Structures are given as C-alpha cells and as structure tokens.
Structure 1
Amino acid sequence: MANEYHVAKDGADNQEGTRQNPFLTINQAAAVATAGDTVIVHEGEYREWVKPKHAGLSSTRRITYQAADGERVVIKGSEQITDWEQVEGTVWKTTLPNDFFGEYNPYQEKIFGDWVKYNPGRHLGDVYVNGKSFYEAEHMEELYSPTVQTEIVDHWTEQTVSVEDPEQTKHVWFAEVDQHTTTIYINCHDIDPTQELVEINVRKCCFYPEQTGMDYITVSGFEMAQAATPWTPPTADQPGLVGPHWSKGWIIENNIIHDSKCSAISIGKEASTGQNYSTTRKDKSGYQYQVESIFQAQQAGWTKEKVGSHTIRNNKIYDCGQNAVVGHLGCVFSEIYNNHIYNIGVKREFFGHEIAGIKLHAAIDVQIYHNRIHDCSLGIWLDWQTQGTRVSSNLFYRNNRDLFVEVSSGPYVVDHNILTADYALDNHAQGGAYVNNLIRGEMVHKKMLDRATPYHVPHSTEMAGFAVTYGGDDRYFNNLFIGDKGLTGVGTDHYNGYTASLEEYIDTVNDFSADHKAFNNVEQPVYINKNAYLNGAAPFEREEQNLTTKQFDPKLEIIEKENEVYLYCELPEDFEQLRGDIQSTETLHRTRIVDADFENADGSELILDKDYYGNSKSEKEAVGPMNNLKPGENYLKVWG
C-alpha cells in the first residue's frame, strides 16, 4: 500500500511523517519512502543534500518527491554565515573550523578534470550575498584592487584576453585553508554582511543519490540552488545539483534550479567507468580514455533496461558555471522539453571544452524540444554518438553559439528550430537532417578525420562500428537562412564540390584504387533543396530549387516582453512562391556510415508534419519553422 509522507519546518524526524506530525528533514522521508510512495514537502528552506535510499519499481510504481501545492520549497547546498569580522575598509572575513565542511571542503577543492583548459586556481566554493554569487579572486591582493582583471578565453584559439570588470570589485571573495580552519574573505563595498543574507556553498549536491540504481524517482516543484558541484567531463563521475546517478526513469519537472558551480541537472555516467584519468595519469588523451569508458560502461550493463529514459521538463535553469543539463551514456532514450535555460557558462571564472546549456555525449534517441535557451556560452552541444537524436522546435537567442554537433555519424534530426546567434551552427558531424529551421548566423562545417567515434545498432546501446567524420551525408530542406553584415558561412555553399547522391558518391569512390584512402578524399553526398537564402546567405551550387535574395534584409529581432518572447522579421514578396515538402523517413533516406534510417525513437516512421507550434502542415508549406510566416512583416509569439 502506498504511503504519503510529509516534511515541514515545524516537524521532527522522530515523528511519523504524517500531515499532522511531519518529518523535519527531507532525508528522513527519503530513508523510509519506497516504491509507490509520495513525499510532500511544505514551505520553507531546507539546507540538506537529499540522498534517496530506495528506488521505485516502474514508471507506475515510482517514488515521488514534490513541493506542496502553492508552497515555496527551497533546497540549498549552502549555509548562512552571520559571523563576519571587518578586516580593512570594505573587506570582511569569517573563519570556520574545517570540520564544518565534513569530508568535502569546496574552498579546498579546485575546478579540476579532463578538458579543463583554463583555471587560474579557482575552487568549487562560492559566496552569495542576497542571492548574488561573487567572483573568486585569484590572489588576496585582488580583494583590495580598484578593478579585477577577468580572463576571457576564446573557444577556438584558446587565447585569453584580459578585460577590466569594475562590477567584480563589488563582488569578490578569497579563501585560505590551513590544517584546521578555512578563512573566507569578501569585499562587498557598501554592503554590510552582518546585516544581509550571506551564504557559502558547502554541499556537493542538493538532490542526488549516493548509490546507483535508484530508479523511477520524480522530483517536482522545488527551488534548488547553491551547490558546490565539480567539473563534469564525459570521462569522470558526473554529479549534478540534482540527478539520478546512473539510474533509470527519473522525472525532473517544474523546478527552479540555479547557482550550481558546474552542472545543474546530470543524467550522466558514474565513476567506475573512468575518473579523469587523462588529467591524473597523463599517459593517454582524453579521447582514448573516453573510448575506453564506453567499453567499460557496456561491461557494467549500459543498456536501455538499466539506465536512461529520463524526463526533464518545465524547469527554469540559470546561473550555472558549466551546464544546465549534462550527461554521458546515462542520458540515453531521454526527453528534455519545455525548459527555460539561460546564463550558463557566462561568469567566465574557468573554461573547458564541456560548457553548454545542454551538453550530452552518446545522446542515443534523446528528444530535445520546445526549450528556450539564451544568454549561454553555447546553447546545445551534442558530442559523440548523436544517433536517433532529435532537436526540434527550440528557441535560441543571444548565445555565443547556438548549436554544436560533433564527431557523430547520425542519423540525427534538427527541425523547426529558431537559431539567431551571430554564431549559429557548428557542424562537425555527418548524417544529419536539417529541416524547416530558421538560421541566422555563422555556420561552420568541419571534417574530423583524426578521431573515430562509435555508432550503434539503431535504438540500442550495442555498438556497430567506429567511423571518423568525413563531412557531408547531410540533408537540408525547407530552411530559412538569413545572413547579416559581418557574418560568414550562412547557408549551404560550404558543401560546394560535394556529391549530390549516394549513387554518384559510390561511382566516384570506386574510380579510385586506394581502398580506404579514397573515402577520405571523395566528398560524401549531400541532399539539399527548397531552402530560402536572404541577405547574403548562399546556396549549395547544385540545389535545384531555392529562393535567393542577397540584398533583402529581414530585420530579424527577438523581442522579450516579461515572460513572453516574440520574433519579428520581414520577408520578401516572392517568399511564398517557394513551397517546401514534408520530409519523412521515406524522403530522407538512410545514412551511409550507420546504414540506418531517420526514424522516431521507438523505430516508427518519422514524419515532420508539425510546425514550431505543433500545428499540422499541409502537403506544401512555406519554408522555415512556422506555417504562418508570410511576405511582409511578421510578428509572432515564440515563447510564453
């Protein structure tokens, strides 16, 4: 028989956990709740790391943790500090015994791990005054400096540029840790920390089981914040502020999640399949250890029956240093939708090649749709084994980059999205279908002939082979490309010189006698037709039907109004003359390397017959993500 347990700030952990006699801590409820039970948490602030002790048994016999209806429930990885001593001027300090932190002292633990490329000695700790996180100074002297130099790292050249940020002077901390104590210094200028809310993060996570295999758990309706999460590369344990820890069937929904030092929601791997070995052992590349981690995961039972199939929906996630959602291997067969993600990786205290709003490796059959992603270092980054993945009807704006697909062989689908960053798309993959998108921004297309990555039996974690990224084998149909002054590579002309059918490709390859080397030299086929190219965007030279108006400026804008977002653009008079076809499994054809069709995650036929809003499309529709785009002015609500 299912039980209902209650937790409240006026409760006690030696009580029964009823509505009349609630528990005081969520962890007490987590210790007794079993399959089918519900834990209802009432209004208040809970400073604890919730560690579920029991798993649900199925999608219908899950354990549900939920905030009481209409009540604000906050779970924090931080503690409030009130004992501040003025040192000099606007600099204050507090000294804490090291046992205050237990076995995990974030002010001693550094940002560390594979693919960390820039970290000037910064740690997992953080200080928050009235909810705003401070910057960690590199040296004690910076606490007293009139300005602080911020190192901004270019993603590609890995060069750093110093810029003065006067805002940082107001919000700086520095810590010293000795054998017995931790002393934290802050410079908050005109703020008196003894009169304000000052918090420091002390716990690694807010809601994350210590054991693996804690299946079928729902986490709903909470605010969760201020966790000292570590760096989460694909070759290490990947703890997040909240997450399933190598389990199956979690639902994380309707939460507000913010101020995770690194990652907010993790649906990634655990430590036994690799733990930063490239950084610690220094004997092999991260690439090689990542290959090994996949084989180790298979030996440990990486299957649909054991991990993945998570649902992440209707969350607001912001102000995190690395990711809103991260995952390697454990993310398979999941859905991520209706989330609002922003301010990820923009504080710039550290940098590595794993930062994005959503960063997934091995996103097999993962469906990512109807998310609003803006003001991030990178919007979505799909890296390795992007197969059966669909990125659909997402809104991207004001990101440094919007979408990056890397070293994958498909099939994957990117459809009905709005991408508007100056740097809109990195395609370092093959076997993709880009259909009915609006893309305004630079597009970069690259081969990766030095890194072979796995591909799989369709809809399975079973490996079928390895391949380098030859470039091509891509499909572009019904897209609206918009150039702009100073932007390069917008459109599909970077495929000029590629073959235009599998038959042509096979004939050309077989003209060579060099066996595998021929496949490195002959460009894979691309399938490109019925796209619109405006304001300098340029078409593939062999595209049979398109609309190209180089001088027409659509004056594209993304306009925010409270909780709503609108798209404004102008389109030329002949815009409706180009009508796109509905694409499907039948029309997109199989991918060459994987020898797999574009299908739904359940193996059924894929039919792209719904627009950005989910409205049905007729057989012939205007290009772009929405049915109702028309010549002249368009002002359309795209969120809210």
Structure 2
Amino acid sequence: AKCSAISIGKEGSTGHNHHSFRADKTGHQYQLEAVFLAHRIGWKKETVGSHVIKNNTIYDCGQNGIVGHLGCVFSTIENNHIYNIASKREFYGHEIGGIKLHAPIDVVIKNNRIHDCSLGIWLDWQTQGTRVHGNVFYRNNRDLFIEVSHGPYVVDHNIFASPVELDNFAQGGAYLHNLFCGPFEIQNVLNRSTPYHFPHSTDVAGFSFVHSGDDRFMNNMFMQTNSKRTVGTAGYDDFTTTFEEYLEVMSKDRTGLWEGQQAIYLDNNAYFNGATAAKHEATSHTWKDFNPNVTLEEEDGRLYLSFELPEDYVAKGDIIETKTLGTARIVAAPFDAPDGSDLIFDTDLNGNKRLEKADIGPFEQLKGGTNRFKIW
C-alpha cells in the first residue's frame, strides 16, 4: 500500500487534518480536542475497537502496516509478519511504523515478527493497559517508540535486535524478560500534557506531563553488540530509587510544582560485553568482557536466535507478577491484564514453564555455551 495496509480507526469529525488546513493550533491541541470529541460521540468499549488482526503478512507499505487512532482500543494484534514499512522514506514524521497506534488502551500486541522497517512499533499517547509481548524485532532503524504516555503498560519477552531498541518518551512502563541488543533513549516531555484514563476505560481521569521514570526493568538481558552508544540501564543513574525517596525530594520544593526524576525500579538484569547497569540496581549480573555473539538465522520461513553464554553462567530472578510491580504513579493503577486479572510471568517466550527461580531474559533452560532457539 502507498500509505497503510490496515486502518483500525480514525473518526473524521474529530479534527481530521485541521492542523494541516487551518494551522491555527498545534497538533497537540487538536489531538486533545479529538479525545473529547470522540468520547462525546461514543468512544467507549461497547461501540469502538476490539479488533482482531491475526496471521497476516504485511509488507511494502509507504507509511505504516497497521494504524489506529482511538479506534484501536481493546484490540489484539497477533502473529503478523510485518516488513519493509516506510523504507523508501516517502513520508516524514508522524504515523510511521510497522504498527502505529494512538491511544492503545488495553491493546495486546503479541508474537509479531517485525523487521526492515523505519520504525517497528510506535505507541503514541495514552498507552495504558497495553501489553507488548513476545514480538521479534530486527533490522529496523528503531524497534519500539512509546511516547507521552503514563502507563501502566507491560513490555515482556520480546527480542529487540536492531541498532536502536527503544525510545522511551513515556513513564509507567514495566520491561520484563526482554533481550535488548542495542541502546535506548530516555526523554521527558514537559511541553505536552496528555490524558490518562480510569483503568480499562476510555473515560479521562486527568492530564500530566511526562517526567520520565516510574519504570520497572526486571529480569532483562542487555547484550552490547555493535552500537557505539552504551547499552543497559545506566541512563537511569540520577533517578530516585524508591517512591519514598522521590516523595522526600519532592517535598523540599516549597512551590509544590516540582516533579523531578521519578523513581526507577531495577532488579535482576544481566549485562554483557560492556552493557552497563545503573549504579543503584538492587541486584545485577554483569559479564563486562564476554561477547555473546548474537546471531539471527532465517531458515525456510522460520527464524532462529543464537547467542553464547559463559560456561559458568548462572542468573536467576523471582517470578514476576502484577503484585510485584506496584502501581503506576500518575494513574494509580496496577500492571494487570486488559480484562483486569493479574498477570503472572511464569512461562517463557516459547511457552515453557518457568522454574521457581526463573532464568533472566526471554528463555528458560539457558546453559553455558551456545544457546539456540526458534523464535518465529
């Protein structure tokens, strides 16, 4: 498709192209208006969204493979093969990506294979109750971009194998059991206040800027490959480390307006080949000089991942579940499933049951030496 293969919703009367034709307000202001106008005419679970996009091959699209603006809510995007999206650079900026969604409330994006795209997945505004699970990203310019959202959302058991893994222009995310092979960027957004919602609802609960932090990185593997930028969590060195510490620092601002660096929760991540842990991580496992030699191989439509581990490799973490993760600060909501049930991360990327002490990263049953897994 010249532009989009599959569109799952943009209601025309809510400001379609006003920014281009009228240019009297910022795009941010029009987007805020669109949220309220959509709600007024029926933007809720009973009438909008709940699409299922499954088992498709989507390729050679100029702008995006799957796109949704408000209409994507409560949907499932599963087991799609998406590639060669926006690779000709025919369009600039907004709505670029293998998957590009505005307001992906309670959306599940799982087990997709996304490669050779300008941007793999872009979740923009109101990423709340969203789960990005078991996806494989490689040879993209960037893998995942989450923007101006307050959480809670979960990113778990993904393979991020492109030059840049994550642009984190959001807060309130839980990153669990992923494999990161490249760097990511952390950025606050203090010029756009964006909506957040009551849990599992399109009803707006409030607005807030993004101050960065309030993220969880637990049981991930960081494998420095060829990037000149540092891989790992060291970008969080200057953040507070507990909610209590954050409150103490914030209380010293007598105006009551200062937000500062919210707490970041780091535990049981593994770092290889120069990948660097934040200085305050509770428990980290580091093999600074060991190169895991990450390799992706395509065979008869299947995709295999290989990497090496030290012969004496041991890195385990506790089973993570909803109660482990607390609540996202701004939204005051737990990291639960779209239906409100608790999440328990007790199976690996390939469906294997995790032991009581789980292997770090996407796979259970890791061993010293060469590990090879079919990942799609």
TM range (shorter): over 0.9
Residue in 2 aligned with 1:313? 54
Residue in 1 aligned with 2:282? 544
Q: Provide the rounded CA distance (Å) in 2 between the counterparts of 1:536 and 1:353.
A: 34
The aligned amino acid for 1:321 is G
State the SS of the aligned residue for 1:273. Answer: coil
The aligned amino acid for 1:308 is G
State the SS of the aligned residue for 1:272. Answer: coil
Q: Is the 8 A contact 1:582 1:608 kept in 2?
A: yes
Matches within 5 A, 1:389-468: 389-468=130-209
Match of 1:627 among 350, 364, 367: 364
1:584 aligns with 2:321: yes
Give how far 1:557 is off.
Answer: 1.0
1:566 aligns with 2:304: yes
Stretch moving more, 482-491 or 623-632: 482-491
Q: Is the 8 A contact 1:444 1:489 kept in 2?
A: no
Q: CA, structure 1 residues 617+398, in 2 after alignment: closer, same or farther (shift >3 Å)?
A: same
Give how far 1:310 is off.
Answer: 0.8
The aligned amino acid for 2:370 is E
Q: Provide the rounded CA distance (Å) in 2 between the counterparts of 1:350 and 1:507.
A: 46
Q: Is the 8 A contact 2:225 2:293 kept in 1?
A: no
The aligned amino acid for 1:297 is A
Match of 2:340 among 578, 603, 613: 603
Give how far 1:635 is off.
Answer: 1.6
Larger of the two Rg values belongs to structure:
1
Give how far 1:574 is off.
Answer: 3.6
The aligned amino acid for 2:344 is I
Q: Provide the rounded CA distance (Å) in 2 between the counterparts of 1:464 and 1:631.
A: 49
Residue in 2 aligned with 1:615? 352
Q: Provide the rounded CA distance (Å) in 1 between the counterparts of 2:266 and 2:312.
A: 20
Q: Is the 8 A contact 1:484 1:536 kept in 2?
A: no
Provide Cα deviations, 1:136-164, integer angstroms capped at 9, x if missing partner. Answer: xxxxxxxxxxxxxxxxxxxxxxxxxxxxx
Residue in 1 aligned with 2:9? 268
Give how far 1:602 is off.
Answer: 0.6
Match of 1:387 among 113, 128, 132: 128
After the TM superposition, list the runs of 4 or more consecutive aligned residues in structure 1 that deviate by more than 3 angstroms.
none
Give how far 1:589 is off.
Answer: 0.2
Match of 2:263 among 525, 529, 536: 525
Q: Provide the rounded CA distance (Å) in 2 between the counterparts of 1:605 and 1:432.
A: 16
The aligned amino acid for 1:538 is T
Provide Cα deviations, 1:301-354, integer angstroms capped at 9, x if missing partner. Answer: 100000101111011110101111100111000000011100101022332321
Q: Is the 8 A contact 2:140 2:162 kept in 1?
A: yes
Residue in 2 aligned with 1:120? none
State the SS of the aligned residue for 2:278. Answer: coil
Provide Cα deviations, 1:173-216, integer angstroms capped at 9, x if missing partner. Answer: xxxxxxxxxxxxxxxxxxxxxxxxxxxxxxxxxxxxxxxxxxxx
Residue in 2 aligned with 1:490? 231
Give how far 1:619 is off.
Answer: 1.7
Match of 1:337 among 47, 60, 78: 78
Q: Is the 8 A contact 1:434 1:476 kept in 2?
A: yes
Give how far 1:615 is off.
Answer: 2.0
Provide Cα deviations, 1:568-604, integer angstroms capped at 9, x if missing partner. Answer: 111123432x201111111000011001001111111
1:535 aligns with 2:306: no
Give how far 1:628 is off.
Answer: 2.7
State the SS of the aligned residue for 1:360. Answer: strand
Q: Provide the rounded CA distance (Å) in 2 between the counterparts of 1:371 and 1:538.
A: 28
Give how far 1:540 is off.
Answer: 1.1
Q: Is the 8 A contact 1:362 1:386 kept in 2?
A: yes
Matches within 5 A, 1:158-173: none
Provide Cα deviations, 1:255-286, integer angstroms capped at 9, x if missing partner. Answer: xxxxx110111112121111111111011111
Q: Give RMSD over aligned pairs.
A: 1.0
Higher RCO (CA-CA < 8 Å; seq separation 6+) = 2
Q: Percent same amino acid at aligned positions?
A: 56
Q: Provide the rounded CA distance (Å) in 1 between the counterparts of 2:208 and 2:368.
A: 44
Instruction: Give the unaligned 5+ runs of structure 1.
Output: 1-259
Q: Provide the rounded CA distance (Å) in 1 between the counterparts of 2:329 and 2:153.
A: 13
State the SS of the aligned residue for 1:423. Answer: coil
Match of 2:250 among 504, 509, 521: 509
Matches within 5 A, 1:126-525: 260-516=1-257, 518-519=258-259, 522-525=260-263
Q: Is the 8 A contact 1:574 1:631 kept in 2?
A: yes
State the SS of the aligned residue for 1:298. Answer: helix
Q: Is the 8 A contact 1:436 1:480 kept in 2?
A: yes
Q: Provide the rounded CA distance (Å) in 1 between the counterparts of 2:313 and 2:96.
A: 38
Q: CA, structure 1 residues 424+620, in 2 after alignment: closer, same or farther (shift >3 Å)?
A: same
Give how far 1:630 is off.
Answer: 2.0
Give how far 1:489 is off.
Answer: 3.4
Q: Is the 8 A contact 1:547 1:575 kept in 2?
A: no
Q: Provide the rounded CA distance (Å) in 1 between the counterparts of 2:313 and 2:202.
A: 43
Q: Is the 8 A contact 2:182 2:227 kept in 1?
A: no
Aligned length: 376
Residue in 2 aligned with 1:133? none
The aligned amino acid for 2:269 is N
Q: Is the 8 A contact 1:441 1:487 kept in 2?
A: no
Q: Provide the rounded CA distance (Å) in 1 between the counterparts of 2:110 and 2:73.
A: 15
State the SS of the aligned residue for 2:119. Answer: coil
State the SS of the aligned residue for 1:505. Answer: helix
The aligned amino acid for 1:477 is M
Q: Provide the rounded CA distance (Å) in 1 between the counterparts of 2:267 and 2:97.
A: 31
Q: Provide the rounded CA distance (Å) in 1 between the counterparts of 2:311 and 2:168.
A: 31
Instruction: Give the unaligned 5+ runs of structure 2.
Output: none
Q: Is the 8 A contact 1:422 1:487 kept in 2?
A: no
Give how far 1:512 is off.
Answer: 1.8
Q: Provide the rounded CA distance (Å) in 2 between the counterparts of 1:394 and 1:336.
A: 11
